[in-house]
Amino acid sequence: MALSLASVLSKSEDVVGSDHSSVVSINLFVALLCACIIIGHLLEENRWMNESITALAIGLCTGVVILLTSGGKSSRLLVFSEDLFFIYLLPPIIFNAGFQVKKKQFFRNFMTIVLFGAVGTLISTGVISIGAMHFFKKMNIGSLDIGDYLAIGAIFSATDSVCTLQVLNQDETPLLYSLVFGEGVVNDATSVVFFNAIQSFDLSHINSSVAMQFFGNFLNLFVSSTILGVLAGLLSAYIIKKLYFGRHSTDREVALMILMAYLSYMLAELFYLSAILTVFFCGIVMSHYTWHNVTESSRVTTRHAFATLSFVAEIFIFLYVGMDALDIEKWKFVSHSPRTSVGVSAILLGLVLVGRAAFVFPLSFLSNLTKKSSYEKIDIKQQVTIWWAGLMRGAVSMALAYNQFTISGHTQLRGSAIMITSTITVVLFSTVVRHYLICV
Amino acid sequence: MALSLASVLSKSEDVVGSDHSSVVSINLFVALLCACIIIGHLLEENRWMNESITALAIGLCTGVVILLTSGGKSSRLLVFSEDLFFIYLLPPIIFNAGFQVKKKQFFRNFMTIVLFGAVGTLISTGVISIGAMHFFKKMNIGSLDIGDYLAIGAIFSATDSVCTLQVLNQDETPLLYSLVFGEGVVNDATSVVFFNAIQSFDLSHINSSVAMQFFGNFLNLFVSSTILGVLAGLLSAYIIKKLYFGRHSTDREVALMILMAYLSYMLAELFYLSAILTVFFCGIVMSHYTWHNVTESSRVTTRHAFATLSFVAEIFIFLYVGMDALDIEKWKFVSHSPRTSVGVSAILLGLVLVGRAAFVFPLSFLSNLTKKSSYEKIDIKQQVTIWWAGLMRGAVSMALAYNQFTISGHTQLRGSAIMITSTITVVLFSTVVRHYLICV
């Protein structure tokens, strides 16, 4: 059994999408998803565990099993694919977050959220980039140019909205939830602009006109993405209301809502906008307008179907990150110099802490100046929680790291391999350790 | 615009899954799906149209537009992929059919259904194979061996359960619906055994031991597939009831039901069973047991979410078949000898009619002998409807034809190209014409 499994799995590495080996992978993946749900449910009474930690753990275990059965050749069922992540898994999660978000709370803090997401991300990126440049130049970790350092800053400034959803509770701490989650969404728009800027601007000559252009780009992207999402939501509401869809069929209403939300995401991708921002606002508009125009059974169905989709996608991501963490190819480079690798990970973790502190406290202070009632102000305890809760780095960081440092899922250079493994270390460490610290 | 679209589309032909071109394809596809739903809804009052015909028509129009903008090079957004069809689109359709089927009616006619699906398919396959051998040998259509002829018989004996669902109404004609749809499901098991037999047996020496082996294989496959589906359904019911899933979360229940149903389908694929049969019985058991153990909101959600998934998958298939029908590569071969191609299509259509008549009337007679009350007997008018309603050939025939006559989506030989184009002609003709005849 072990042998035949190994031979099938080593095949699946080469030709994903081929006949029988992909069937084996899908079977294993779906079975593991079921296991995560059941075990996550059984452990729910236990405050130390939840579905995402379970999924991470099961993913790691599966990785070990595959690694052993394949004789140390492979630990993955599928090569990490950005497409899979950005085209299929992320849209339902972010859409559902917009669909279920408490709108009143979100819009009351809108300016603060944008401040955190835009200015804060830039500050954090700057701190991490400069810090990385300072420390890594003295270490022997292969060649990294200024673009790579800025990319490192952007990667480790990406607050993971997916993880945030798992940790903060919207009903218990609505203010913190809306601030940290909203920041994560706006953060994405900043990242898109930033990544484009790294690739298109001449980074050796940064002057005020480049900075102005950068600011203009961000504003343009932010406004266009939001408008696209709002328009898609309003259009779905108009069509469903005007054409009396519910008169005939619940299924059509639900199908149309899902398809139009997905269309808004893909259109944003098409025009190089921030798809996360678009689908988030589409979710908000749909829950505010479209949802009230559909039949009663459509309301129940959409509320739960969207939540289910998002739930499955989240578990899928955690399972995947856990499984991918053990990929042998990347660790090969690292095993020659374990100390360097541990050092890099530790430095990055430290920089993440400092970079986040560098904007949360000053910006909270600024934000408090504009608020009159003390009730609306962010007190120091809440500031610490915001700093702390947004530290988690997750699937988005992983995807960005893969984008910058690999060529079609394979790691080629020593420096890139160290960066990928450090990203994994930081993601695993921040997710697991933070989870336990919050439980305590 | 037209030019840039064309260049992007011609790229998407080469590298599906690459970055921006696949985003363009997905956008177009999702937008077309939305258009199909809206237009299908607007035309609902019109008895001449429904979503599937709309999807076929829109698919054909899109094919023409792409063909013109790409300068006659391509009419497809994606290369036809069996994986896409059998792994993602078919499971929700068949599962939903099992989930929503009227169980009483289905099991009352179980023996007749199996008779039609198993014996009937074999008769039909035999008639079409022998007929094709007889007629095609005199025509100049390239080399086809005995395996190809038997495959043609199997391809054109595959009743399309997807189309049947669209034409017959479960509430108006429950007996006919259960007979024709059930036949389509059992038919799949026969096809799987038959295709395996074609590939593994020595076809020049058919004797009684081979026939016995064939019969044994069918029985084994039928029973194993059914048991697998029933077990998956019962297991889901047991887990959800025993662990009190609903106590905590509706989303988990729904996610578990979807994942376990899909797991049963993929397990059947893994063991080379009839996945269609498995997931169909899984749907029946889930609607009979699992569904009664979940919370009220889960019931509403599953009923509508499964129907929506199935609905979108159906439209997707019809849109795809319409778009794929104009693929230039296949018609190149045919354009040299249009007469031969029309002749082949006409002969095949005739053989389909005869082959179906050759088992519907005799087997109905046999089935009537076992029934005592005249109420349960299939009268001659119903027999004609069964003959007629099961004539439709659809996406399953297309997928089988691609499986037998192409290598990874590309047609190489003249004879194969003619077979593919004839399949498309028969599918389009039977779907559209039959639809209009039924309306009259």
Q: How far does the CA of residue A262 sit from the closest CA of chain B (Å)?
A: 8
At residue B4 the predicted structure's pLDDT band, cuts being 50, 70 and 90, is very low
Least confident piece of the model among A248-252, A389-393, B104-108, B347-351: A389-393
Looking at mean pLDDT, say which of A14-28, A163-177, B59-73 comes out highest. Answer: B59-73
Query: Phi and psi for A408 in degrees, rounded to 5?
Result: 45, 55
- Reported as a pLDDT band with limits 50, 70 and 90, residue B110 is confident
pLDDT digits (tens, 9 = 90+) for A186-235: 877 777 777 766 666 666 666 777 778 877 887 888 889 999 999 999 99
User: Could you report the per-residue pLDDT of A1-28, keeping only the tens digit for each?
Assistant: 233 333 333 333 333 344 677 788 889 8
pLDDT at position B163 over 50: yes
Could you identify the residue written with the tokens 């300016």? A111
Over pLDDT 70: what percentage of chain B?
78
**CA Rg, chain A, in Å?**
22
What SS3 class is residue B147? helix
pLDDT tens-digit profile of B209-239? 777 887 788 788 888 999 999 999 999 999 9
What's the pLDDT score for residue B18?
Answer: 45
- Give residue-wise pLDDT tens across range A335-382: 777 777 788 888 888 998 899 899 889 998 888 888 777 777 888 888
pLDDT of residue A236: 93
Q: Shortest Cα distance from A348 to chain B (angstroms)?
A: 30
CB-based contact B248:B269 (threshold 8 Å): no
Q: State the complex-level ipTM.
A: 0.82
CA distance A239 to chain B (A): 8
Amino acid at site B401 = A
Residue from A95, A244, A248, A251 whose CB has the most chain B CBs within 10 Å, to mutate: A251
Of residues A303 and A332, more confidently modeled: A303
Interface mutation vs chain A, best among B24, B259, B294, B408, most A CBs within 10 Å: B259
Pick A177 or A284 by higher pLDDT.
Answer: A284
Note whether residue B62 is domain-resident.
Answer: no
Res A314: pLDDT: 83
Which chain B residues are within 8 Å of A254, Cβ to Cβ? 304-305, 308
Residue A321's pLDDT is 79
What's the pLDDT score for residue A323? 80
Q: Which of A45-49, B4-8, B152-156 has the highest mean pLDDT?
A: B152-156
Question: Stretch B368-374: mean pLDDT, rounded?
Answer: 80
pLDDT tens per residue across span A21-80 = 778 888 988 999 999 888 888 877 666 666 777 888 888 888 888 778 776 666 566 655
Question: Min CA distance, B189 vs chain A (Å)?
Answer: 19
**Is residue A10 situated within a structural domain?**
no
Residues across chain B: 440
Angstroms from A68 CA to nearest CA on chain B: 23
Task: Tell me, yes or no, whether B342 lies in a domain.
Answer: yes
Are the beta carbons of B188 and B97 closer than 8 angstroms? no
Separation CA A334–CA A350 (nearest Å): 20
pLDDT at B285 over 90: yes
Mean pLDDT, rounded, for B25-42: 88
> Where would I find the H helices in A70-160?
82-83, 90-100, 103-108, 110-114, 121-136, 146-155
Contact A41 B245 (CB under 8 A): yes
Whether B300 contacts chain A with CB within 8 A: yes
Is the distance from CB of A250 to CB of A293 less than 8 angstroms? no
Q: Name the percent of chain A lying above pLDDT 70.
A: 78
Helix (H, G, I), strand (E, B) or coil at B284: helix
Cβ separation A311–B255 shorter than 8 A? yes
Would residue B434 count as lying in a domain?
Answer: yes
The shortest CB-CB distance from A255 to any of B255, B263, B308 is to B308
Tell me the mean pLDDT in the region A386-415. 69
Are A266 and B41 inside 8 Å of each other by CB?
A: no
Establish if B23 touches chain A: CB-CB under 8 angstroms: yes
Is residue B228 one of the residues assigned to a domain?
A: yes
Domain range holding B310?
82-439
Structure tokens at A243: 């054409």
Provide the domain count of chain A: 1
> Who has greater pLDDT, B351 or B17?
B351
Residue B57 inside a domain? The answer is no
CATH number, domain containing residue B239? 1.20.1530.20
Burial of B8 (0-12, 13-18, 19+ CB in 10 A): middle
Residue B14 confidence (pLDDT) above 70: no
Mean pLDDT of chain A: 79
Q: Calculate ∠ Cα B362-B367-B372, nearest 5°.
A: 135
Please name the member of B44, B252, B270 whose beta carbon is closest to the beta carbon of A37. Answer: B252
The answer, for A34 touching chain B at a CB cutoff of 8 Å, is: yes
Q: Is residue A45 part of a domain?
A: no
